[in-house]
């Protein structure tokens, strides 16, 4: 099913001419992010070469998505705005107040009972103002958006930090606060500092144990947790085309872990396939018809250093599975550097009464250990200063003692 089909039809009929007008005014080739941003200016006549990281720009996003924890205040504010309905398509998703504990069926029933007052409020307000309402158990907001609302070239805001998940379908999707959502829903301009642009060129193709998640895990190790601040991460290159739409969404989702404003991929056949698989054949057809506008201009792809503020190259063919942490997502380690048996004197943790010194010592995945055999694991009590031989092995008790589950060399 295609939601808001009239809006989508109008968007794709106008998108090319808006991009052409922006390119002419700016006077140079455009990245994909720039095409989408300029096509969503609050006033089309405001086109000019905005300074990235300096100029504040007014935009007109296509839609809004809100999760149940953050929608409450947003809808309270919207109710006081004197509007009869939302100016743009908007949805509320009841997922964040569901605590994972006993299993889906039991947890949803528990959440529905304990949060009944919140859910009743959200539903009644949504019904009154023409806002889409996804009840508890209907799905996680980011997956629902990807399967139903995200579209290539569009722009949306959502009251959740992982709203950029929709970038997997070539959409600029930005996580915001409830007040921002109210601005857009009331038809006001939405202000954003013109983001800087980080171009990530992907070459090769994934192989072996590597998955799309390892792309962003490796990138987190390069950019650190603040390296993407006030920037859009734009992926491009032959490697990008080899990834599935859901794989792209996974990568974009975790762009929040490096502080990025959002992340996105150029439109390609895999996105069209996903759109059709989720009942959006019309959107796939419209996007395919303007596919040249849903990627960076050829000059940008040929000379990325001239158009992005920073360019990073990742060869997918050489990419290993990564494990990130503990404590911070930018502590990225390829699996070949990881170990699996606790031993020695390499790591110090501070959540026990005494420091916990650990070391890992196993072969890489897929290899068999010959000799010497690994030394026995310490028990938690032995390391913490308790009586030896009375506890579980440390590898099973770390989480119980509030020590991070991931341990890095």
Residue 367: the pLDDT is 53
Average pLDDT, the chain: 86
C-alpha to C-alpha distance for 105 and 78, rounded to whole angstroms: 33
Q: What percent of the chain has pLDDT over 70?
A: 82
C-alpha to C-alpha distance for 177 and 187, rounded to whole angstroms: 16
Expressed in percent and rounded to 5, the helix, strand and coil fractions of the chain are 40, 15, 40
Question: pLDDT category, 387, cuts 50, 70, 90?
Answer: very low
Any idea what the Cα angle at residue 20 is, between residues 16 and 155, rounded to 5°? 55
Residues 6 or more apart in contact with residue 370 via CB below 8 angstroms: none
C-alpha to C-alpha distance for 353 and 384, rounded to whole angstroms: 7
pLDDT digits (tens, 9 = 90+) for 124-158: 999 999 999 999 999 999 999 999 999 999 999 99
Question: pLDDT category, 330, cuts 50, 70, 90?
Answer: confident
Candidates 364, 343, 350, 360; CA nearest to 408 is 360
pLDDT digits (tens, 9 = 90+) for 221-272: 999 999 999 999 999 999 999 999 999 999 999 999 999 999 999 999 999 9
Question: pLDDT category, 338, cuts 50, 70, 90?
Answer: low
Phi and psi at 20, nearest 5°, equal -60, -40
What is the arithmetic mean of pLDDT over 75-84?
A: 96
């Amino acid at each position: 099913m295609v939601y808001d089909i009239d809006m989508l039809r109008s968007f794709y009929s106008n998108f090319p001419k808006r991009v052409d007008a922006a390119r002419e005014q700016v006077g140079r080739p455009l990245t994909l992010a720039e095409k989408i941003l300029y096509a969503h200016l609050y006033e089309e006549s405001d086109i000019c070469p905005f300074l990235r990281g300096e100029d504040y720009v007014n935009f007109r996003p296509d839609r809004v998505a809100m999760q149940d924890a953050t929608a409450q205040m947003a809808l309270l504010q919207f109710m006081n705005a004197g509007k009869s309905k939302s100016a743009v398509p908007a949805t509320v998703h009841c997922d964040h107040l569901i605590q994972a504990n006993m299993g889906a069926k039991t947890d949803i029933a528990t959440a529905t009972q304990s949060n009944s007052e919140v859910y009743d409020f959200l539903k009644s307000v949504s019904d009154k103002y023409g806002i889409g309402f996804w009840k508890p158990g209907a799905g996680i907001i980011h997956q629902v958006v990807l399967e139903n609302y995200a579209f290539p070239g569009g722009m949306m805001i959502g009251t959740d930090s992982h709203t950029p998940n929709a970038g997997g379908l070539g959409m600029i999707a930005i996580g915001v606060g409830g007040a921002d959502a109210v601005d857009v829903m009331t038809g006001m301009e939405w202000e954003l500092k013109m983001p800087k642009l980080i171009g990530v060129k992907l070459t090769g193709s994934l192989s072996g144990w590597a998955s799309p998640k390892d792309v962003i895990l490796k990138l987190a190790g390069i950019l650190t947790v603040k390296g993407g601040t006030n920037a859009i991460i734009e992926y491009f290159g032959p490697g990008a085309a080899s990834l599935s739409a859901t794989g792209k969404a996974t990568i974009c989702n975790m762009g929040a872990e490096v502080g990025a404003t959002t992340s996105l991929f150029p439109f390609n056949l895999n996105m069209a396939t996903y759109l059709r698989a989720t009942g959006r054949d019309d959107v796939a057809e419209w996007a395919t018809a303007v596919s040249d506008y849903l990627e960076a201009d050829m000059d940008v792809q040929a000379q990325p250093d001239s158009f992005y503020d920073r360019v990073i190259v990742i060869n997918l063919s050489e990419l290993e599975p990564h494990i990130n942490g503990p404590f911070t997502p930018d502590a990225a380690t390829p699996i070949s550097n990881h170990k699996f048996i606790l031993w020695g004197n390499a790591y110090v943790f501070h959540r026990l009464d005494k420091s916990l010194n650990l070391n890992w010592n196993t072969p890489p995945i897929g290899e068999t250990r010959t000799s010497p055999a690994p030394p026995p694991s310490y028990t938690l009590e032995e390391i913490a200063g308790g009586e030896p031989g009375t506890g579980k092995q440390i590898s099973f008790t770390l989480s119980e003692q509030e020590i991070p589950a991931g341990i890095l060399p």
